[in-house]
Structure 1
Amino acid sequence: MKKLVLFITMLSLFMVTSLTADAHPGRLDSNGGHNCSEKSKAKGLCSGYHYHNKGNEAAPSTNTNHKTPTYQSTPEPVLTTVDVYINNVKQSYNPSAYIKNGTTLVPMKAIFVSLGATVTYDNATKKVTAYKGNKKIVIGVGNKKAYVNSNGVTTTINLNHAAEIYKGTTMVPLRFVSEALGAGITFDNAVYITTK
């Protein structure tokens, strides 16, 4: 008899627990949870946003009053590499020059040196400064404005694409750099730069 009473008691507890877990109404959202109704809150069945255990899946941790964010990865853009020739000599850059959103970007130091300029880079301000003759060129990483100072007169240039960091190297817009340093540039399945 004691075993029967114990069995019925345990069965009753199991049933009450199961009923309590699903005792409040509400539709589940795509995360498997929902916000409690005011009636369910008043009865003490739940408080705020919570999840429901579906079958044998483990329920996510309970959060109150907000959804768990879902993240989608954004694929990295496919970059088209391009060959660069200066006075008909093919350049070997690491990383290679590439086209991004219609703009050809090249490694900053390599292109400036190839075009006869000296270069400094200020890591604190993320600014590149190049000097050639009486010209001073300043480009900031992430900034779509560049500055050319020639004979004491500074001109602001709006860039189609800002300088950026790629594989640890500062990449700069080729057309702007070439023209700012007085070089001609043409495109024909590769980039051809002619210095004067």
Structure 2
Amino acid sequence: MKKLGFLLMLFVFLLTVPKPVAADAANAHIFLDGEPLSLTSDVQVVNQKGTVMIPIRIVSENLGFNVKWNKAEQSVTVENADTLVKMTLNQHQAEINGAVVELAIPPMLDKQTTYVPLRFVSEQMGLDVKWDNQAKAVYLISPDTGAETVPGSDAGTGTAQPPAGGSQAGVTLTGMTFADNRLMLETEGKIAPSVFRMNAPERIVIDLPQTNFSERFMAEHGFSDSKRSGELIVTDNPDVAKVRYAMFSDNPSTLRIVIDLTTAKNYTVINDDSGFIIIDLNAAEDSGGTLPALPPVGDGKKTVVIDPGHGGTDPGVTSVSGVKESDFNLAVALKVSALLEEEKDIHLVMSRSDDSYPTLKERAQLANNVKADIFVSIHGNGSTASSANGTETLYTRDESKLLASVMHKHLMQATGLRDRGVKYQNILVTRETKMPAVLLEIGFMTNQGDEAQLLREDFQNRVAQGIVEGIKEYLGIR
């Protein structure tokens, strides 16, 4: 089986690995593309506060990567012919071919076993990961299979089903974010939400029929099956106080989400059955909650999505002087936004305009939903080697090569830093978007020389102008 691609990245995106506690996931079965993995008796699958984790040895024993453990450094390296990944216990950064990936919580050992959380596999690699709590089974479906195949799957719908005797999961709510006056819901499975207004007090109600909270959602929002409710406090919007969510009905299973308003608001619902639902409060006053919130179609304008990387709970790398990458990314993106707003032939869409964290999947899906012509993600770079420096532009799909080349040319003219070139890299936001997409690594925040430039206002202005010039050249806008 061709599993090297996603399994190598499985090692890279280690996240949230506190000391494991073998809970109800112990002795679980693991299916990889429909085939059960053979586990020794001493191997356990761990459910840590709603996060399912598997030992790293499951991967190495079944796929045969070259895995080396350095006892003196307390580090593990994983490599194939062209990629090397290095991770060190109790450190918040991993390296992939020398480039740094930030980890929220460092890798840890428990009784000589390193545990890998499955959530990031799904988010970062497009891997479908399903956990059946009653059947005690984990399903891993890699993207190179061409289908979502697990034992007993319904090939006609692509919906994974548990093996005979297990429970059948309905639609699940897997993510929720409020940013830019929009409530974004991520579901696993198709759903037709019921959305309506209520007053005294003012609020917008979203009912999701035949839907349950996913384990991922419960883990992220800090509650369990016994406490099926919670709220998301909104601090930066004068019209919205908070977003509440709860299990509204067990029969049929219905989730209710309520946007508590300080004043009456219209809304637009965007739902293309892709598992991504947007309740947009930016609707015109006379829309009545029925007009589409997509950029106008057929007016000859191009739609550009600007994505400031990281944000909120994911700050990215930290610069030499302690500046968060997410703040730098947003500062440059807002300058780009201000310039693009002046372009009469461009519709601008921002994935975030504040210190919030849309997931990587949400960013890509947003670009797909608005049918963007191009997607540009803005980042600062980082490395454990303080000497690493320079500017590079990353792409994933062949159709993005030309955009990457054009953007890099203008970016290099703007930065004047070392030219690290245009490179292929398997990144979710540039892989899952359906239009030409690039990720710009403007410079290394972990390099003293680069950082001195990156944090200067005039440098950021030049970079923003360079990004806009690249976008205009690629789109043929004068």
TM-score range, shorter chain: 0.3 to 0.5
Give the TM-score taking structure 1 as reference length: 0.47
